[in-house]
């Protein structure tokens, strides 16, 4: 099982940081041009959401890292929730919970 865990832990997954979202009428979207500003209903100092597989796993605040943006995490969900967020939703949600639980247990017990 340890070799399976090592292989899984080497996988790369896309991480998204959600600045904000809003709904717009289709007519507004069609009329967008370079230079247009879309106002988001979020204050500049509000926390951002950290998403894995389009599922929230944590929050943080925007920071500047050299010439790049970054996120300083202020909250990260438990290990089981993060593992569950990385997989697709299988047919059996109960089995997914068991698989995530087993992987979390293995990681926490140092079997990697």
pTM of the model: 0.66
Helices (H), the chain: 2-9, 26-30, 79-86, 93-108
Provide the pLDDT for residue 91.
43
- What pLDDT is recorded for position 89? 53
Task: Please give the sequence-ordered ranges of beta strands (E in DSSP) within 1-91, or none if there are none.
Answer: 15-18, 48-52, 55-65, 68-76
User: Tens digit of pLDDT for each residue in 54-78?
Assistant: 889 999 999 999 999 999 999 998 8
């Amino acid at each position: 099982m340890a070799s399976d865990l090592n292989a899984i832990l080497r996988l790369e997954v896309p991480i998204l940081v959600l600045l904000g979202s809003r709904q717009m009428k289709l007519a507004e979207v069609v009329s967008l041009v370079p230079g247009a500003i879309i106002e988001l209903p979020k204050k500049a100092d509000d926390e951002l959401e950290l998403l894995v597989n389009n599922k929230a796993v944590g929050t943080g605040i925007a920071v500047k890292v050299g010439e790049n943006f970054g996120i300083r995490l202020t909250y990260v969900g438990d290990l089981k929730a993060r593992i569950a967020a990385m997989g697709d939703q299988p047919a059996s949600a109960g089995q997914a919970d068991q698989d995530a639980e087993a992987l979390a247990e293995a990681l926490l017990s140092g079997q990697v």
